[in-house]
Amino acid sequence: MAELAHIALWVNDLEEMKAFYERYFDAAANAKYLNEETQLQSYFLTFSSGARLEIMKRPEIESIKKQVSSQEFMGYTHIAFSVGSEETVDELTNRLVAEGYVQIQAPRRTGDGYYESVILDPEGNRIEIAA
């Protein structure tokens, strides 16, 4: 039986993104990995549920992304975090907005029964905060 091991994101500012997920979503980071040959740098961020997010940076990725069409980067839509209660959704959303992060959707009840909000992380990735 297959099990999802982790999701990975290319990022521009590895340290800022690591700090964001540690501060707001209680991620625990491993020691930074550095491949001397390719200059790939990464962290695995582990959340209390056991889910893991790998954030990665490599010098030539930005120039590659500019050369290919946006169609080739289609697929990723958001990362969802379950925070346990509607009250916690409201509190965390308000905290993020107060600290300058962009809110895409205010907390609301969705058609499929979730209570959620959507904010952007420091690099514009959609983060769904749900209960």
Q: Provide the percentage of residues in the chain whose pLDDT is more than 90.
A: 69
Question: How many other CB atoms are there within 10 angstroms of residue 17's CB atom?
Answer: 22
Q: Dihedral angle at the C-alpha atoms of 115, 118, 121, 122, nearest 10 degrees?
A: -140
pLDDT digits (tens, 9 = 90+) for 28-40: 999 999 999 888 8
What is this structure's pTM?
0.84
What domains can you pick out in the chain, each with its CATH number? Answer: 1-76 (3.10.180.10), 77-131 (3.10.180.10)
Q: How high is the pLDDT of residue 65?
A: 61
SS3 26: coil
Residue 77 pLDDT exceeds 90: no
SS3 50: coil
